Amino acid sequence: MKATLSWQTVSARIVAGHQVASGLNANPRFPGGTLRMQAPFFRALGLDLAAYHRGTMNVSIAPCRYRVIRAPITFRQVKWHPTEPAEDFSFFDVRMTPAAGPPVAGKIYYPHPDTKPEHFQQPDVLELLLPFVGGLKYGDEIQLSVSAEQMILERSTL
């Protein structure tokens, strides 16, 4: 019998990211984006990203921040690039609900900051891997639901 997850929901806002995951920043070190380059390594380790858009949706949960509890999927020392250092990655379950439309299930993509060489996120920003959802733009408000067993979303005390 599978344990049921306790979901917590917060309002979030779609924000611009570094556009490295999607490759839209045209960085020649990451042709087609980091997700395109990482996907075969994740697939070999047991996580197939084929159902998700080949880019992340960055969302701010301010004034909240997140605290990692336990990721259901973590890969250590993934050497996905010929010259960049190996990185650790975790993936968390998430549901994103746009203002107009049904909830969409996906993953929070979390390159561990202690192994990530650059392109760091603000402490209130999460990167989502989702199937393509049309009609969304920067600044749109969404609802974000995350399992409390995996990650805590709490109001910032700063």
Q: Where are the domains of the chain?
A: 7-17+51-155
Cis (ω within 30 of 0) for the bond into 85? no
CATH 2.40.30.30 corresponds to the domain 7-17+51-155: yes
Residues 52-63 pLDDT 10s:
998 899 999 999
Q: Is the pLDDT of residue 33 over 50?
A: yes
Q: Tell me, what's the pLDDT at 1?
A: 42
Mean pLDDT of all residues belonging to the chain: 88
Tell me the pTM.
0.89
pLDDT band of residue 158 (cuts 50, 70, 90) is: low
pLDDT band of residue 151 (cuts 50, 70, 90) is: very high
Average pLDDT in the 19-32 region? 65
Average pLDDT in the 17-25 region? 66
Average pLDDT in the 115-142 region? 86
Q: Is the pLDDT of residue 18 over 90?
A: no
| Distances from the Cα of 73 to the Cα of 32, 42, 47, 57, 110, angstroms | 24, 10, 8, 19, 10
